[in-house]
Amino acid sequence: MIAITDITKDGVTMVLRIDFNSDEALYMQLRNQIILGIATGRIHEGDSLPSVRQLAEYVSINMHTVNKAYSVLREEGFVKLDRRKGAVVSLETNKQRVLEEMKREIAVDLAKGVCKGIQKEEVHRLVDEIYELFANWEESEE
């Protein structure tokens, strides 16, 4: 079962896909979708995300699950939670930290590739492909 809805208060139609049969936690799916939304330019710095209660009703999940997703996004420096404006996209940037984090996250993934004979040039191409995907999202739409 996949719930699809649009996000942000101001009618910015960003599709949000939630797979209830996935083994990935719902709050992590939410987190990932919002991060992807920012990376692909559908959500911008300063945008307000829907309130936890609104989004919970839209996606048909519990308020606390949305709240957890927002809390994670706050801890990771993607949004600021303001009582008056709700969850506002605010990108706290520390490139050094981000790169170290990314290194830890993708190390094992790259190791798998090395075992299977993937050259680093092929990884470069894959990275470019993903960056291309983010830049031209509206053209492909998935």
Partner DNA sequence: AAAATGTTATATGATCGCTATAACAGATAT
Partner DNA sequence: ATATCTGTTATAGCGATCATATAACATTTT
Interface positions with DNA (CB under 7 A) = 23, 25-28, 51-54, 60-65, 67-68, 70-71, 81, 83-84, 86-87
* Cβ-Cβ contacts under 8 Å for 104 (sequence gap 6 or more): none
- Name which of DNA, a copy of itself, none residue 12 binds, using a CB cut-off of 5 to 8 Å depending on partner kind: none
**Piece of the chain touching a copy of itself by CB under 8 A; list 14-22, 47-55, 63-71, 105-113:** 105-113
Can you read off the two tokens belonging to residue 75?
């801890």
Can you read off the two tokens belonging to residue 77?
């420096």
Position 130 contacts a copy of itself (CB under 8 A): yes
User: Three-state secondary structure along 22-71?
Assistant: CCCCHHHHHHHHHHHHHHCCCCCCCCECCCHHHHHHHHCCCHHHHHHHHH
Beta carbons of 112 and 102 less than 8 angstroms apart: no
Residue 91 or 135: the one with the smaller Cβ distance to DNA is 91
Residues at the site binding a copy of itself, with contacts judged by CB under 8 A: 32, 35-36, 38-40, 76-78, 91, 93-95, 98-99, 101-103, 105-118, 120, 122-124, 126-131, 134
